[in-house]
Chains A and B, each alone.
Chain A
């Protein structure tokens, strides 16, 4: 028990990159890496595609398997989180493409995600009052589903996953300058969609 606890506490201190090295030597260490990322990536898949439950888990399972098989392709100059987010995004897109899903439906799961989204985006959309922000959060969530996949992804990564521009560039395989431009265009497009939905 003591030895198990000390192994666990040792694993907790390892960085992702160190866990990758350990997983290459001993495949059983990979589960620790997966456990670190399982909840965040399930949430990420849901934010990108609206899929959760068995569908979301299928996508995540494929992502983890691909990550494991490509461990020797991991570039040490990259953050592991950027790399696994990239793989998960690609798997999500492939999954949606195979199911020929063009628009996604983001169900309201009752958490404060809508409010968080409204908080971060509402100032750009020029909304002042707190009450309006709560309603707007729900509308923003619905408007997101109408955006192109790249625009939706970049807004989710920036405002919900709270990734830095460099991380977003690594996840989406885009130049940094393009990320900034894309975020700006995505916000404008979101604003346009919201106006068309007769919100503001």
Chain B
């Protein structure tokens, strides 16, 4: 008995039938949907990375006197960049599994996926979608704040001359400030420069550049409103 006859006999005896079409359709559709989801998530990651870079406060570099190269290397959103690389890589792998995915080179798929994600990411960025995403990531992702330089943490390094918080009281000289960790500070403001319409009003959210003196004492040299970002020698609202 040749192989063909054996197989035919087996098909008859075991009543084998071709698998129904819908199984293959479901598989292909699931791959397609997963691809769309990956592209959307990549776009969100791109939008958030753009937000973090755009939101970066160059006043920090002015205060810390770091070189541009070191400062830029420090401020890049590595968490989001790694997420983008991982997601786009996964797009490449998944696309290859699809029915006609093998026709394209892996580099073509990666470039194509990246272009689509960048375009959608740019659209999302115009709607400031990075803001809520970044807040959610900070709440949900373990150790997010260790991986991403958030402005709240950047401006909470009194030992490096950076402090932020809310003005509590304004006695005759200086003012008191409560920082993001609910710690009270006595701030000396002799000769301080009040930038970008910042004011000494109680309740104002401010960020300070100066010197750490001793336990909970700070000498301010410059004061900025919290919601203003120093960029291109201009005060810009976030």
Contacts and interface: CB of A to CB of B under 8 A. Distances in A.
B105 A65 contact: no
Nearest to B19: A69
A177 B4 contact: no
B98 to A, nearest CB: 11
B141 interface: no
Interface in A10-49: 24, 27-28, 30-31, 34-35, 38, 42
Residue from A31, A42, A57, A176 with most neighbouring chain B CB atoms (10 Å): A31
Interface string B5-38: 1111011100011111101100000000000000
A92 to B, nearest CB: 14
Interface size bracket, A side: 20 to 34
A17 B163 CA distance: 75
A178 interface: yes
A34 B102 contact: no
B21 A57 contact: no
Interface stretch (A70-78, A94-102, A191-199): A70-78
Interface in A41-85: 42, 57, 60-61, 64-65, 68-73, 75
A158 B103 CA distance: 18
Contact of B18 (A38, A42, A71): A71
A173 B103 CA distance: 7
Residue from B4, B99, B104 with most neighbouring chain A CB atoms (10 Å): B4
B13 to A, nearest CB: 12
B26 to A, nearest CB: 12
B2 interface: yes
B3 interface: yes
Contacts of A34: 3-4, 7-8
A176 B105 CA distance: 9
Residue from B8, B19, B21 with most neighbouring chain A CB atoms (10 Å): B8
Given A69-B18, A173-B102, A57 B5 contact: no
Given A72-B18, A72-B24, A73-B19, A64 B3 contact: yes
A174 interface: yes
A68 B99 contact: no
A28 B5 CA distance: 11
A27 B104 CA distance: 35
A38 B16 contact: no
A30 B11 contact: yes
A28 B8 contact: yes
Given A34-B3, A69-B19, A174 B8 contact: no
Nearest to A24: B18
A64 B4 contact: yes
A175 B105 contact: yes
A175 B104 CA distance: 6
A65 B7 contact: yes
A169 B100 CA distance: 11
Nearest to A56: B3
B4 A31 contact: yes
Given A174-B102, A178-B105, A72 B20 contact: yes
A38 B7 CA distance: 11
B103 A175 contact: yes
A64 B16 CA distance: 12
B33 to A, nearest CB: 19
Given A27-B11, A73-B24, A175-B103, A42 B16 contact: no
Q: Which are the 6 A-B pairs with shortest beta-carbon distances?
A: A173-B102, A34-B4, A71-B18, A72-B21, A73-B24, A64-B7
Given A27-B18, A65-B10, 12 more contacts: A27-B11, A28-B8, A34-B8, A38-B2, A68-B18, A69-B18, A70-B24, A72-B21, A73-B19, A73-B21, A174-B102, A178-B105
18 contacts: A24-B18, A31-B4, A57-B3, A57-B6, A64-B4, A65-B7, A65-B10, A68-B11, A70-B18, A70-B24, A72-B19, A72-B24, A73-B19, A73-B21, A173-B102, A175-B102, A175-B103, A176-B103
